[in-house]
Each structure stands twice: as structure tokens, then as C-alpha cells.
A and B are shown apart, each in its own frame.
Chain A
């Protein structure tokens, strides 16, 4: 019996054994990354809660949820890559602001075709800014936290240079990429865009040699170095991808708000980091995936909405967000401690 796939012969021989193996494999991947199960469950609970307190939840609510979560999800994705590699990027919000105002000021009088070309240029600019961040972290030898906190301050200034006050715009067809719907009104374009962008960038990266190296340098830098991983280059790559995702987030901001705002990005640095932490990515590096943070971005977007439905000041959302970060990290710490005891 010669087949290309290893699993097939045993399926024919003993379906029960293969079932067991599938269950085992599922258990292993769950143990390795509990957020794989926990996060979708959390999203379902959050959505169910929303529907429970707001029974007339409509396709429009779903659209505004997807639009609200879009930039935050990309900010979380950008942070995830750097955090997995063992760093942290506190400049993401500012990079999003730069790309947001860049897009809005360049696309104001562009046609749809031109605006797509400009979008590609903005993505390249984002990657370049990310590369610069990486170089700053590497050459200066200042710890990531301080280096990106400072470079974020600089990018904030750059955003103000490009566009002093909120303004600019983009052609309606371009905005529609983030605000419209596909096929049915229950499938917002924002959701499609998110899945497509994360899928196209993250999945090949995760499966590539570079992806493995990112996890390697995050979990143990010395061991990775001794196994022949080029630490500097891999860290640089992490920052480039962070810049790229931030740029997608900036474009997402342009699509969903229709304008460029130099100060709009500020919020996304910290909230994106919150989504990363809630999404089960270890800040110590080397652990976690992309699914958790992206779903966490949706949950975090739902919280203020639910508060409004409940007639509570939506500003409590930020308080809940802060509490959630702390509580989840504490739970993670306890789980680790228990594991260490065994």
C-alpha cells in the first residue's frame, strides 16, 4: 500500500485508531496553544451576550463591529509578530497614523485605480518605516521598549507634518473596500479584507523558515543563535512585518473613517498590545499565534458597544480593557506556575 499521505493507510486499517490520533493531535495543539480553543469560545460568548442584551442585532451591527475591529485587529497582528520574536513595538499606533494620513492626503483626488496603486505605495512605506524601527533597535542597542517608545514619538511628529489637522479623503470605491459588504449584507468587506490580509501575510510566513526563526529567537535567543539563526536579520524582519501590518491598519483606518487623522493612531498602540496579551501571546516571546489577538480585537471592540446597549458610559470600556489585560496575564502566570510544579 503506497500512498503519498501517511495517514491514509491507517484510516483503511483502523478508523478508530485514526480518530484517536486526530483527537490526540488536537489535544496536543490545544495544550500548546490553549487560545486556539479559548479565543473562539470567548468571541462566541461575547457575541451571544451582545445578542442577548440587544436582541435586534442586525446585519448593520455586524458591519459596524467589523469596521470598528478592522484597524485594531491589524494593530494586534503587527504587535503579535514582534512580540513572538521576543521584542515589543510601542510605535505601532504612530506608524498607523503616518500611513493613515499618507493615504488620505495622497488619495484625495485620485481615481479608484490610482488609489489602489497608492495603497501599494503606502504598504511599502509602512514596511520601510518598520525596517527603520528595526535598524534603530539594532544599531542603538537600546532595549526595544525605550527605542520604539521614542521612535513612535518621532513618527507621531511625522504624521503631523504630513497632515496637520484631520482631513484628506479617498475615492468612494476605495472606502467601499472597508465599509461595504460582499454577496450578502451579513458578510462585511472589512471581515473579508481582514481574513485575506492576515491569511496572505501570516500563513505563508508562519510556515516558512523565517517564521520558525521568529519563534526560535523569541523563545531562546542563545539557543537560536547557536543553531545558526541570524538574530539581527530575523529581528529586523519582525519589525518590517510589524510595519507592514501597521500600514494595512492605517489603510483600514482610512477606509473606515474616510479621512486621515494624525492623532487617531495613538489609541491603537496600547489597545493592540492589550489584544495581543488577551489573545494568549506570551510577552516573553516565542509563544502564541495570530488567531488569538485578532479575535481579541473583536472582543475588545464589542465591549464599548455592549456598554452603550446597557446604557453604561462606554468609557468604562477602557477600564475593562485594562482590567482584562492584568487579569488574563495573572491567570497565565498561575497556569505557568502550576505547570512548573508538575
Chain B
């Protein structure tokens, strides 16, 4: 109890949460997140006047979309009390496989990419739902497998270099109607479907129930394994789709393409108010979380500091945000 940081923190938290404003914020925690996002945007505008304009906003949405899609899968998985550490490897493998099969035409190439996500998600699901392996270990293992397979595959494929088709490039980097990013065409429907499914359908409610108490669900006659299996497959597919958008944005399929998305995908969900222990949260928070992280990235880019310092600041701010948010809402 002598820890000064602890007392200051908890006193501040208590001061906020005890008032009427506090309880309102706790219920509508999404409001806090939106305020935080606006504060970040305001900060940029004050530090570098003129930065925030239509082009900037459209760029932010463009960059946030792949993160939002990976984090969508992560949200589904974390709601059930799991975690998926294979998303980054899946996204990379999907992008690479798509690029090496681009000679077959766009549609088959995309199918190859999504097939990776389906396969790894299925293996994850079988291991976690049927064989009861801890999600952390299972997805760690499949992540290592995917990465290893990809390295072996890339060395075999040396002859025909990966090429990103024009369609994917347009999807990942283009805009229409004078500024709406193309990748929103993928992200917005996913977001709407996900929010609807989580709030309005039995499947969504089951996800919360499993995350809250999967034993009770089993005893109540719910086939938990089916839900979990479907959930991990969906997560794999979403990660694969995100990989396609990411490679469209960078225009080169590399072996470490999506590695940088692992931490933000988990962080966006946590900052968005979904509990890692499951049963609490939702996708709308994750969307704001992804936007906050994207804006944060943009701020750090504007600061013009070396990559190493950027990495330190990014991590530190994620820690602060997650800690503050966990305390505010607990």
C-alpha cells in the first residue's frame, strides 16, 4: 500500500469513477476512447498546424483498415478468452502465396491467400477447441510452422518472383470518389457484420458466454467446440484478408511483411476495452483502438525521430494507454 504510483493512480481513478460523469464514462467507455482519439488528433493539429485535413484523414483510414481487420479476428478470439499469436505469420503467408500465384489471375491468387488463413485457422481451431491446447501455445506453434513453411517455400519459388497484381495494389493503396480509401470497401462491411453479429445474434452472445464461463456453457448443452472452431477459422480468414491489403499497400511481398502487426493487433483490442480473459468488450472499441494506434503512428512519424526511438515511444504509449484503460474500466 506504500507504493506511491499505485495510490496516486487509484485515487485519480476513484475520483473520476465515483462521480456521475465517471459512471457514465464507465458504461459508455467508447466515449472515453473517442475523446482520446480526438485529443490525439487535436495534439497533431496544435503541434503541426495544417496537418489535419481531408487527405490526412483519408490516409489514416487507409492505414487503419488492415490493422482493424486483423484486430477484428483478434477481438473474436479474445472475447472467448483466447489469443491468436499466429495472425502476423498468417497475414504474411497469405500475401506471399497470393503474390506468387498472381500469374493464375487475380481471383485464384486471392483464393490461395485466403486458403492459408483458412488452413491455419482450422488447425488452430482443432487444437484449441477439440484437443484443448491452450490458445497461446497452439497459435505460437502454428505461427512458427507457418513461418517456417513460408521460408522453405520462398526458397523453392526463387525462380518466379512474387508479383502483386494491380487489383490488390488498388485495393491496398487506392482511393475513390476523391479520397475514400478503397480498403474501406473491405473493412466497413466486416465491421458492420461483426458488430451486428456480436450484439444481435445468438452466436455473438455465445462468444461472450464462452469467454465468461466456458464450463457453464458446456454444461448448458452448448457445443462450445463448434463455436471455438468457427471462431479461429474466422480469425485466420480475417488475418489472411488483412495480409492481402497490407501487401497491396507496400507493393512488395516480403517474408517479414506483417510482423509489425502482431503487437498492434493485440493492443488495439486491449485499448478498445475487450478483456483478455474474455466475456467483455466488443468490436466498436477495437475500431477506435485501431484508429488511435494509427494516429499515434502518424504522430511519431511527424516527430521525425529514428526508428529505434519511435519503437520505444510507441510501446511505452501503448503500455500507458492499456494500463490507464484497464484501471478506469475495472
Which A residues are within 8 Å of any B CB, using their own CB? 88, 136, 139-143, 145-147, 149-151, 153-154, 156-161, 164, 270, 273-274, 277, 283-284, 313, 315-326, 329-330, 333, 337
Contact = CB atoms under 8 A, between A and B. Distances in A.
Given A143-B276, A153-B263, A316-B148, A326 B326 contact: no
Contacts of B233: none
Contact of A322 (B3, B136, B142, B327): B142
B316 interface: yes
A154 B267 contact: no
B312 A141 contact: no
B5 A139 contact: yes
B330 A326 contact: no
Given A315-B151, A319-B152, A322-B148, 8 more contacts: A150-B318, A150-B319, A151-B319, A159-B308, A318-B145, A323-B145, A330-B133, A333-B132
The 9 A-B pairs of least Cβ separation, nearest first, read: A318-B148, A157-B311, A322-B144, A160-B308, A140-B323, A322-B145, A154-B315, A157-B312, A319-B148
B323 A326 contact: no
Interface of B: 3, 5-6, 9, 83, 127, 131-134, 136-138, 140-149, 151-152, 155, 262-263, 266-267, 270, 276-277, 306-312, 314-316, 318-319, 322-323, 326-327, 330
A277 B133 CA distance: 12
Contacts of A153: 263, 311, 314-315, 318
B308 A161 contact: yes
B140 A325 contact: yes
A142 B108 CA distance: 42
A83 to B, nearest CB: 11
Contact of B312 (A143, A161, A283): A161
B151 A140 contact: no
22 contacts: A88-B136, A136-B319, A141-B326, A142-B323, A147-B319, A149-B262, A149-B263, A149-B266, A150-B319, A153-B318, A157-B308, A157-B309, A157-B312, A157-B315, A274-B144, A277-B137, A283-B136, A315-B148, A319-B149, A322-B140, A322-B146, A325-B144
Given A157-B310, A160-B307, A329-B134, A141 B266 contact: no
A108 B267 CA distance: 38
A313 B322 contact: no
Residue of B6, B148, B310, B318 with most partner-chain A CB within 10 A:
B148
A143 B141 contact: no
- Chain B interface, >50% SS class: helix
A230 to B, nearest CB: 13
Contacts of B262: 149
A129 B143 CA distance: 27
Contacts of B307: 160
Contacts of B143: 270, 322
A330 B132 CA distance: 7
A270 B86 CA distance: 12
Given A150-B263, A150-B315, A318-B147, A164 B323 contact: no
Given A149-B266, A313-B152, A319-B145, A140 B315 contact: no
Nearest to A326: B141
A145 B148 contact: no
A153 B276 CA distance: 19
Residue of A88, A150, A284 with most partner-chain B CB within 10 A:
A150
Contact of B152 (A140, A157, A316): A316
Contacts of B319: 136, 140, 142, 147, 150-151, 154
A242 B30 CA distance: 37
B311 A142 contact: no
Residue of A88, A142, A316 with most partner-chain B CB within 10 A:
A142
A154 B322 CA distance: 15
Nearest to B5: A139
Nearest to B312: A157
A158 B322 contact: no
Contacts of A158: 308, 312
B202 to A, nearest CB: 28
Contacts of B267: 146, 150
A149 B5 CA distance: 22
